[in-house]
């Protein structure tokens, strides 16, 4: 008897290898009128088992294709395809940036593409200026960007070598640590951003502004707080003017052009008569040709440590799931938006979701979570982005 198609109004469920094996053998007996010895020691028993295994592989592939139609279970190129449908593409790796100070002769022009060196794994990472500058009062501060993508680290003073020789430029250093870039967007972060994009509508709601901002490749995280009342009040920890919008963004190393693009997004989606709040500003041109200043704030970062003491389920040991849980926690932190807090339950849920990739069985029976060494949740602050310090310690 043939297997009934598993695609129904309720979805698709692939038959199992055992189903195929029974069906193949029953069909053989029906067609031939022979009931052979189906023992695996017999040739026909082996052939029927091989056929069932091959059919099962095809069925599982069909199940995977069907599952990839849903954002929650899609990965890789399948998740990219879903993103293309809603107009949200995966973010490529970004580049670390830093502000460096050049010393030299007044009036010396430093153009875009001037190369300096320092930081990175071997203290030989190269950086290029992404803005023009002219030395005045003996110094010039300018943004530089790493030539290689990813989380290139440069601590204070590490960028200290001039690669592009130029008369009038005598020294370079970075007075603050570089803001690291990120690797190519992970599935978890991309999935969350796709979901956020669906909040975009014709209205000028805070969610719509947020969704537009995080689509900008150089914005890693943001929050938007709205006070639509005619009174002063504190919302999400921010003291708000009446009828105002407060936008907080990360990172804080945007070029002038990128800041102008941010201002344009905020201006376009903010209701008329609504004030924008913050200490950072950029001008946009209104329809009447006049300029309007749009304000926002940069977020600060607060790194926390995470340690998880796990109890494995029967049949498993720490090594079976250690790396998977460490990676899962790191990916989850990358999805946090400015202002979000971290609870121990968040991390416990991640631990409980780690499964055996072959059987689908959960491998962790319980987890005790400490945040910054304490058995307490870490509350969010509206102007702060919580990051993970190092890697999670899983025992």
CATH number at residue 221: 3.30.300
Q: Residue 9 above 70 pLDDT?
A: no
- Average pLDDT (151-164) is 93
Asked if residue 364 lies in contact with residue 383, where contact means CB atoms within 8 angstroms, the answer is no
Q: Are residues 274 and 215 both part of a single domain?
A: yes
Q: Residue 85 above 60 pLDDT?
A: yes
Which of the four pLDDT bands, split at 50, 70 and 90, describes residue 201?
very low
Asked if residue 354 lies in contact with residue 364, where contact means CB atoms within 8 angstroms, the answer is yes
Containing structural domain, residue 227: 199-298
How far is Cα 166 from Cα 109, in angstroms, rounded to an integer?
9
Q: Are residues 161 and 223 both part of a single domain?
A: no
Q: Could you give phi then psi for residue 136, rounded to 5 degrees?
A: -140, 140
Domain boundary residue, one of 275, 298, 321 = 298
What is the SS3 assignment for 394?
Answer: strand
Residue 81 lies in a domain: no
Amino acid 27: pLDDT: 87
Which of the four pLDDT bands, split at 50, 70 and 90, describes residue 200?
very low
Which of the four pLDDT bands, split at 50, 70 and 90, describes residue 52?
confident
Q: Are residues 16 and 59 both part of a single domain?
A: yes
Amino acid 355: pLDDT: 87
Residue 113 lies in a domain: yes
Q: pLDDT of 129-144, one tens digit each? A: 999 999 999 999 999 9
Closest CA to 177 of 94, 99, 95, 118: 99
How far is Cα 350 from Cα 340, in angstroms, rounded to an integer?
17
Amino acid 205: pLDDT: 63
Amino acid 243: pLDDT: 87
Q: Are residues 110 and 153 both part of a single domain?
A: yes
Asked if residue 101 lies in contact with residue 173, where contact means CB atoms within 8 angstroms, the answer is yes
Amino acid 67: pLDDT: 67
Q: Are residues 286 and 220 both part of a single domain?
A: yes
Residue 109 lies in a domain: yes
Share of the chain above pLDDT 90, in %: 38
Domain boundary residue, one of 271, 298, 325 = 298
Helix/strand number for the chain, H first, E second:
8, 22
Instruction: Please write down the HEC assignment for all residues of 171-215.
Output: EEEECCCCECCCCCCCHHHHHHHHHHHCCCCCCCCHHHHHHHHCC
Neighbours of 75 (CB within 10 A): 14
Q: Are residues 246 and 273 both part of a single domain?
A: yes
Amino acid 161: pLDDT: 95
Helices (H), the chain: 17-32, 43-67, 76-86, 187-197, 206-213, 256-269, 318-334, 344-352
Q: Are residues 288 and 316 both part of a single domain?
A: no
Amino acid 234: pLDDT: 87
How far is Cα 92 from Cα 83, in angstroms, rounded to an integer?
14
The total domain count for the chain is 4
Q: pLDDT of 307-356, one tens digit each? A: 999 999 989 999 999 999 999 999 888 888 888 889 999 899 899 888 88
Q: Residue 254 above 80 pLDDT?
A: yes
Asked if residue 97 lies in contact with residue 207, where contact means CB atoms within 8 angstroms, the answer is no
Amino acid 139: pLDDT: 95
Greater model confidence, 62 or 5: 62
Residue 51 lies in a domain: yes
Q: Are residues 282 and 318 both part of a single domain?
A: no
Amino acid 98: pLDDT: 92
- Average pLDDT (81-110) is 84
Q: Residue 160 above 90 pLDDT?
A: yes
Q: Are residues 203 and 291 both part of a single domain?
A: yes
Residue 148 lies in a domain: yes
How far is Cα 101 from Cα 99, in angstroms, rounded to an integer?
7
- Of 66-75, 244-253, 270-279, least confident by mean pLDDT is 66-75
Residue 180 lies in a domain: no
Residues 6+ apart with CB under 8 A from 46: 40
How far is Cα 344 from Cα 51, in angstroms, rounded to an integer?
48
Q: Are residues 149 and 207 both part of a single domain?
A: no
Asked if residue 81 lies in contact with residue 70, where contact means CB atoms within 8 angstroms, the answer is no
Residue 162 lies in a domain: yes
Using only C-alpha atoms, the chain has a radius of gyration, in whole angstroms, of: 28
Residue 211 lies in a domain: yes
Q: Are residues 284 and 307 both part of a single domain?
A: no
Q: Are residues 287 and 332 both part of a single domain?
A: no
Q: Rounded to the nearest 5 degrees, what angle is found at the Cα of 323, between the Cα atoms of 339 and 123? A: 75
Structure tokens at 288: 């009447």
Which of the four pLDDT bands, split at 50, 70 and 90, describes residue 203?
very low
Q: Could you give phi then psi for residue 194, rounded to 5 degrees?
A: -60, -45
């Amino acid at each position: 008897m043939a297997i009934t198609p598993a695609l129904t109004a309720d979805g698709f469920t692939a038959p199992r290898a055992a189903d195929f094996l029974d069906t193949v053998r029953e069909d053989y007996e029906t067609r031939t009128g022979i009931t052979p010895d189906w023992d695996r020691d017999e040739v026909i028993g082996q052939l029927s088992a091989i056929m069932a295994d091959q059919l099962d592989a095809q069925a599982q592939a069909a199940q995977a294709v069907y599952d990839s139609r849903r954002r929650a279970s899609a990965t890789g190129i399948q998740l990219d395809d879903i993103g293309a449908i809603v107009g949200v593409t995966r973010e490529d790796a970004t580049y670390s940036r830093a502000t460096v100070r050049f010393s030299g002769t007044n009036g010396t022009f430093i153009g875009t593409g001037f190369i300096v060196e320092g930081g990175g794994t071997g203290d030989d990472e190269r950086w290029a200026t992404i803005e023009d500058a002219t030395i005045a009062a003996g110094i010039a501060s300018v943004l530089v960007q790493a030539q290689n993508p990813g989380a290139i680290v440069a601590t204070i003073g590490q960028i200290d070598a001039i690669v592009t020789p130029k008369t009038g430029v005598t020294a370079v250093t970075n007075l603050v640590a570089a803001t690291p870039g990120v690797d190519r967007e992970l599935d978890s972060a991309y999935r969350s951003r796709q979901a956020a994009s669906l909040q975009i509508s014709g209205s000028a709601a805070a969610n719509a502004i947020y969704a537009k901002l995080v689509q900008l490749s150089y914005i890693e995280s943001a929050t938007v707080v709205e006070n639509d009342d005619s009174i002063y009040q504190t919302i999400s920890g921010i003291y708000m003017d009446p009828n105002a919008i407060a936008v907080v963004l990360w990172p804080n190393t945007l070029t002038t052009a990128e800041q102008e693009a941010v201002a344009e997004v905020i201006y376009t989606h903010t209701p008329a008569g609504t004030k924008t709040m913050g200490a950072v500003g950029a001008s946009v041109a209104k329809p009447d040709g006049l300029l309007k200043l749009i304000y926002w704030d940069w977020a600060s970062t607060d790194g926390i440590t995470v340690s998880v003491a796990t109890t494995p389920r029967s049949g498993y040991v720490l090594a079976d799931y250690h790396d998977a849980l460490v990676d899962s926690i790191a990916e989850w932190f990358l999805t946090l938006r400015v202002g979000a807090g971290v609870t121990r339950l968040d991390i416990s849920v991640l631990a409980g979701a780690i499964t055996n990739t072959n059987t689908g069985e959960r491998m962790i029976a319980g987890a005790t979570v400490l945040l910054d060494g304490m058995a307490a949740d870490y509350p969010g602050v509206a102007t702060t982005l919580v990051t993970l310090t190092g890697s999670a310690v899983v025992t």
